[in-house]
Amino acid sequence: MPRSEPIKAVRGVRDILPAEMPVWRAAQAGAAAVARRYGYEEIITPIIEHAELIERVGEDTDAVAKELYRFDDRGGRNLALRPEATAGVVRAYFEGALNQGAQPSRLYLFGPMFRYDRPQKGRYRQFYQFNVEAIGSAAPGLDTEVVELAGDWLNEVGLQDLRLELNTIGDGKCRPPYLERLKEYYRPLKSQLGGDSQLRLERNPLRLLDSKVPQEQPFKNGAPKIIDHLCDECAEHWSSVRRLLDAASIEYQLNPYLVRGLDYYTRTVFEFYPGGATGQQDALASGGRYDGLAEAEGWPSTPGVGFAGGLDRVTELIAAAGSELTTSSPADVLVLPDGELAVEAAEVARICRAVRSVAVDYEAKSLRAKMRSANKLGARWVVLISAEDAARRVAQLREMSTGDQVELAWVELPTRLA
């Protein structure tokens, strides 16, 4: 057989190695703790969904149009790897009869999402989100609640310097006439727009407002702003959300060009960025209200609001901030048997596990080599077992930092290690 190159990870995905786990654990534990403090319950939904469910999120959405991992399974079903979780959580809310329980249903979820995006720092094809959804109520208090929850989470994992951007994008009543105005404004400028924006002009004109193309920036200033064209209900909702944010002393910047990439949003939309960031920067957490999503999926019309935080980006920032989270040794104790004493070593390990994390070195190698392994592992103690010791059910316990060694009966080990 010819030797082939070792097979590497797929482009755009990566491993999260043990050394990175303290930061990941902190980000996730912090998220779960904050979510529970706000009365949210955990849910897990599948990574695969019917492609059609995802398409209902919005066919003009990049995550769906260009970036969806779509495939036919062996039964010929057209499936997708979820690019985001909200569509699936809303589906589960109805299928799991959560709509029959106390409303709103407050849910949080951790998990991987998949987008065939151009890989770069902070942007991966498999990435991880912390999702928060409050489904079953249109109360503006919930818009504020999820914004506050997101901010609390980021603060508590050590990210204090943040910028919160906020906008409203109206609803099914006031947005269509506004979009007509927007199209009217942009049509005469069409030849000066880039290719993507020319396509968006008729299909999804809202996205013209968050175009990053430099030549299109000056046009935004003169574009009509939705905030000036809200219906009464949306205007009232918007003013309540802002009043509640002010009452909570949550600082935000109004960004009339914030429209979000997914099509299902109505009314409030928001994004958290690292503070002080200039230029094009990726959001750490983002979300908004999606009152039309349930209906788009074929369920009874039901309002909802939520956000997702990007764990890849949040953990990168925590790590860059030089947090004090350090990797600890995977095992406090390493059992080092002499020769063929696997049975005895396993028994001693079992005894010590009552009080400590314990690993066993089963390899046949010299004591010196075993000591080197213990150092590499960072074990605090080693337990040496010779055939002679094993026959008497005793072992030598050595403290690695001092080199102090004592002989102990196996049964005494837990007391000494505790």
- Which H or E element spans position 274? strand 266-274
Query: Among 13-21, 46-54, 103-111, 125-133, which window interacts with ligand HAM (CB under 6 A)?
Result: 125-133
CB of residue 11 to ligand HAM, shortest distance in Å: 13
What is d(CA 213, CA 132) in angstroms, rounded to the nearest whole number?
31
Among 286, 302, 315, 386, binds ligand HAM (CB under 6 A): 286
Among 312, 344, 361, 389, binds ligand HAM (CB under 6 A): 312
CB count within 10 Å of CB 183 equals 14
Please report whether residue 308 would count as binding ligand HAM according to CB under 6 A. yes
DSSP, res 96: T
Please identify, using beta-carbon distances, which residue of 115 and 175 lies nearer to ligand HAM: 115
What is d(CA 127, CA 389) in angstroms, rounded to the nearest whole number?
51
Please report whether residue 313 would count as binding ligand HAM according to CB under 6 A. yes
Query: Among 128-136, 149-157, 202-210, 332-340, which window interacts with ligand HAM (CB under 6 A)?
Result: 128-136
Distances (CA, A) of 326 to 8, 22, 314, 333: 28, 7, 17, 19
Token pair of 271 as six digits = 């994004």
Among 108, 270, 273, 307, binds ligand HAM (CB under 6 A): 307
CB of residue 138 to ligand HAM, shortest distance in Å: 14
Please report whether residue 171 would count as binding ligand HAM according to CB under 6 A. no
Please report whether residue 285 would count as binding ligand HAM according to CB under 6 A. yes
Among 96, 112, 194, 261, binds ligand HAM (CB under 6 A): 261
Read out DSSP for 13-30?
A: -----GGGHHHHHHHHHH
Among 115, 207, 242, 267, binds ligand HAM (CB under 6 A): 115
Among 259, 283, 296, 397, binds ligand HAM (CB under 6 A): 283
What is d(CA 304, CA 135) in angstroms, rounded to the nearest whole number?
4
What is d(CA 142, CA 244) in angstroms, rounded to the nearest whole number?
10
Tell whether the torsion through CA atoms of 315, 80, 307 and 137 is positive or negative.
negative
Please report whether residue 117 would count as binding ligand HAM according to CB under 6 A. yes
Please report whether residue 267 would count as binding ligand HAM according to CB under 6 A. no
Token pair of 184 as six digits = 């009217």
DSSP, res 120: B
What is d(CA 310, CA 285) in angstroms, rounded to the nearest whole number?
6
Residues 53-92 that bind ligand HAM (CB under 6 A): 84-86
Q: Check: CB of residue 169 under 8 Å from CB of residue 206.
A: yes
Please report whether residue 303 would count as binding ligand HAM according to CB under 6 A. no
Please report whether residue 133 would count as binding ligand HAM according to CB under 6 A. yes
Query: Among 3-11, 219-227, 236-244, 300-308, which window interacts with ligand HAM (CB under 6 A)?
Result: 300-308
CB of residue 124 to ligand HAM, shortest distance in Å: 4
What is d(CA 123, CA 310) in angstroms, rounded to the nearest whole number?
10
DSSP, res 5: P
Please report whether residue 49 would count as binding ligand HAM according to CB under 6 A. no
Q: Check: CB of residue 146 under 8 Å from CB of residue 86.
A: no
Query: Among 69-77, 103-111, 126-134, 186-194, which window interacts with ligand HAM (CB under 6 A)?
Result: 126-134
Q: Which residues bind ligand HAM (CB under 6 A)?
A: 84-86, 115, 117, 123-124, 127, 129, 131, 133, 261-262, 283-288, 290, 306-308, 310, 312-313
